[in-house]
C-alpha cells in the first residue's frame, strides 16, 4: 500500500511539472507580430535624437573652449 501511494505521489508531482513546462511551451509557440513601420519610425526618431545630442555636445564643447581661451589669453 505504501509503494502505491509513493508512485501516486511521484506521478502527481511529475504531472504537475509536465503541465508547467507544457504551459511554458505554449507561450513560446504563440506568434507575435510587429508592425515594421513602428520599428522604422522608432529608429528614425532615435537617429534624430542622437544627432541633436551630438550637435549640442559639439556646440557646448566649442563654447567652453572659446570661453576658456578668452579668459586665459
What are the helix and strand counts (H, E) for the chain?
2, 0
Q: In this structure, what are the phi and psi dihedrals at residue 35, rounded to the nearest 5 degrees?
A: -90, 120
The structural domain count of the chain equals 2
The string of pLDDT tens digits covering residues 43-58 is: 999 999 999 999 999 9
51/73 same-domain check: yes
52/70 same-domain check: yes
The string of pLDDT tens digits covering residues 57-72 is: 999 999 999 999 999 9
25/54 same-domain check: no
| Cell numbers describing residue 17 | 511539472
73/43 same-domain check: yes
The string of pLDDT tens digits covering residues 1-35 is: 444 445 556 677 777 777 766 665 555 555 667 78
Closest CA to 34 of 43, 25, 24: 43
Residue 73, domain extent? 39-73
How far apart, in whole angstroms, are the C-alpha atoms of residue 28 and residue 67?
58
How far apart, in whole angstroms, are the C-alpha atoms of residue 14 and residue 72?
78
Amino acid at each position: 500500500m505504501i509503494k502505491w501511494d509513493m508512485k501516486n505521489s511521484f506521478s502527481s508531482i511529475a504531472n504537475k511539472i509536465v503541465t508547467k513546462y507544457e504551459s511554458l511551451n505554449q507561450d513560446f509557440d504563440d506568434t507575435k507580430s510587429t508592425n515594421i513601420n513602428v520599428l522604422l519610425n522608432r529608429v528614425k526618431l532615435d537617429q534624430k535624437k542622437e544627432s541633436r545630442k551630438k550637435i549640442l555636445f559639439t556646440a557646448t564643447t566649442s563654447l567652453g573652449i572659446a570661453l576658456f581661451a578668452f579668459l586665459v589669453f
